[in-house]
Amino acid sequence: MTSGRSRFRPSSSVARQKLAAAQRADLGRPPLGTRLTGYTPKGEVIQDEAEIVRVVFDRFTGGDSLRAIAAWLGETGVKTRRGGAWSPSTVATILKNPRYAGRAVYNGKPTGKPGDWEPIVTPEVFDRAQRRLDDPRRKTHHEGYDRRHLGAGLYRCGRCGKAMHSHTGARYRCPAGCLIRSAVPIDELVCGVVAARLARPDLAELLPTVDVEEVRAITGEIDRLTARIEEIEQDYDEGNIDGRRYRTATEKVQAELTAARSRLVRLTGSVGAAGDVLRADDPAEAFAAAPLMIRRSVIDLLLEVRVLTSPRGRRGFDPETVALTWKVA
Ligand SMILES: [Zn+2]
């Protein structure tokens, strides 16, 4: 397995190293010297990290912004490969790497050959992520404009089914030109209905994919382990334990912490950014206070919104002109 490595390693010239790298790529072997989140340097899958990579792809292809994914990774406590904080660009770096789909890469480009390592995502999921990364509307609408317009790209036109766009004068417009409607009354209606649903005591039943109690338990476990590490560090600082015991103790707790965080990622990944609101002590209040992108995620998880035409000449807002369908029981 490492024959390629020993054969190419003695080379000292840049040219020979490049040749070796090209040959490795040609043979579908993982490049030397770089470790991707999710793989050991030899290209073996690290399950906990692979799970995080999968969730990053799922959330992005499911409509989350790079910023929302970075914020969520930060909250779960997962670090980047270099131990730093996540940013939209480090999230994009993961999404753009064809090696996750098992495709060999040379000079940043796929060689067209399969790699000899285990893929973490399917080629279909990877290609879907590339299409969304390349979609200019993602930047203009979803990352920018939609911040001010709750339902843009989320509500559907009641006539043709296309996603509504933001339009001047705080309005929504069907891109096919079917209808234009004032945004504020529709947003107020949708938010009111969602908040009322969130206030009901059977919220946990409403979310079969998320075990709210288990998430609370794991969050508690993470807090406890984090506090334990601080205790051990304090013991070491005060000279109560020596360096060897300090390392043994922190390594054990750190391993438990990583496992707990990865369980949290698995549990909360499926509901995306909405999870923060749903797990809050008062979900309805958390929803009202949440940033626009988070509110969008909650609405998207719970409700299908179809905007219908408003009869001409009608004054005031008629709630009947917005069709709301629950996506959950
Ligand atoms: Zn339409």
CA of 146 to the centre of ligand 1 (A): 18
For the stretch 42-85, pLDDT in tens is 888 888 888 889 888 887 876 778 888 888 888 777 778 777 88
| pLDDT exceeds cutoff 60 at 327 | yes
DSSP designation for 166:
E
CA of 153 to the centre of ligand 1 (A): 12
Lowest-confidence range among 7-16, 151-160, 204-213? 7-16
CA distances in angstroms from 311 to 152, 321, 324, listed in the order given: 22, 9, 18
CA 148 – ligand 1 centroid, Å:
21
- Distance from residue 154's CA to the centre of ligand 1 (Å): 13
Residue reference for tokens 């809050």: 280
| Residue closest to 163 by CA, chosen among 148, 175, 149 | 175
Please give the CATH number for the structural domain made up of 3-134.
Answer: 3.90.1750.20
Q: What is the pLDDT of residue 9?
A: 42
As beta bridge partners, residue 110 has: 105
Examine the pLDDT at 11 and tell me if it is beyond 70.
no
Contact, 99 vs 30, CB < 8 A? Answer: yes
Distance, first Cα to last Cα, the chain: 52
Q: Which residue has the higher pLDDT, 145 or 39?
A: 39
Ligand 1: centre distance to CA 322 (Å):
14
